[in-house]
Amino acid sequence: MAKQRPATLSVYLYIPNIVGYMRVLLNCIAFSVCFSNKTLFSLLYFFSFCCDAVDGWCARKFNQVSTFGAVLDMVTDRVSTACLLVILSQIYRPSLVFLSLLALDIASHWLQMYSTFLSGKTSHKDVKDSTSWLFRLYYGNRMFMGYCCVSCEVLYIILLLIATNQTENLMNISPLSLLLALSIFGWSIKQIINVIQMKTAADVCVLYDIEKQHKKP
């Protein structure tokens, strides 16, 4: 076991994983000032989100793709988005809207990860066998997936800033209005994807149970 420790430590010190630790730290700092300085929060939060693309690039560039890194990446994404949705649920009414979005996001991704494990696949993004063209497009095209994910985060940040009147006078400016419209469109697609993902993953779990029952003597 002692001989394996240096190898284990090396995985933790992979460049993309170090970027992942930085994302966690940035989010901790961001949420610590989310009520006292929402502009700083927005900058730190969005910078942490952008680092998501950096760690993925580093993993492929330096051939340091790891299961731990993938899990760290997804957990960081889900927890940070969940925290932001909780904050928005305290600002806007009815709060159930944002809490429902939180539940959908967590449930769909958790089911997708578990169904991937049951199917014996190495990545939750392997959906080539899905019957939904939109689902396949989402995970098969990084630009499209990136647009949808960025749209969600940008929309939530704009909603947070609007609530503090920091963008009240800017909402009439066409560039920001266009950004809001583009964000809403991408956000809508992402929610549809989450529903498809949850249903598809649930079907995999059910089929697994049925097949297991048929194998019983």
The number of CA neighbours under 13 Å toward the Cβ of 58 is: 17
The number of CA neighbours under 13 Å toward the Cβ of 116 is: 18
Note the pLDDT tens digit of each residue in 128-173.
989 999 999 999 999 999 999 999 999 999 999 888 665 455 555 5
Measure CA 48 to chain center. 12
Residue at which a domain ends, from 91, 126, 146? 91
Mean pLDDT (the chain, rounded): 89
Could you tell me the pTM of the whole model?
0.87
| Gap between the Cα atoms of 22 and 27, Å rounded | 9
The number of CA neighbours under 13 Å toward the Cβ of 166 is: 15
Residue where the block lists tokens 């979005």: 101
| Gap between the Cα atoms of 84 and 31, Å rounded | 8
Whether 1 is covered by a domain: the verdict is no
Whether 150 is covered by a domain: the verdict is yes
* Residue 193 and residue 138 in contact, taking contact as beta carbons nearer than 8 Å: yes
Q: Residue 156: name the closest of 61, 86, 209 by CA.
A: 86
18 & 110 share domain = no
Indicate the pLDDT class of residue 81, thresholds 50, 70 and 90. Answer: very high
78 & 112 share domain = no
Any idea what DSSP says for residue 185?
Answer: H
Q: Mean pLDDT throughout 183-190?
A: 96
Q: Looking at the 3D structure of the chain, how many domains does it have?
A: 2
Residue at which a domain ends, from 43, 62, 91? 91
Structural domain containing residue 128: 93-216
* Residue 15 and residue 64 in contact, taking contact as beta carbons nearer than 8 Å: yes
Whether 33 is covered by a domain: the verdict is yes
Handedness of CA 19, 52, 171, 38 (dihedral sign): negative
Q: Which residues are catalytic?
A: 77
205 & 99 share domain = yes
* Residue 55 and residue 23 in contact, taking contact as beta carbons nearer than 8 Å: yes
Whether 59 is covered by a domain: the verdict is yes
123 & 163 share domain = yes
Indicate the pLDDT class of residue 1, thresholds 50, 70 and 90. Answer: very low
56 & 154 share domain = no
Residue at which a domain ends, from 51, 75, 91? 91
120 & 201 share domain = yes
107 & 194 share domain = yes
119 & 210 share domain = yes
Q: What per-residue confidence (pLDDT) applies to 172?
A: 55
Residue where the block lists tokens 């989310």: 34
97 & 195 share domain = yes
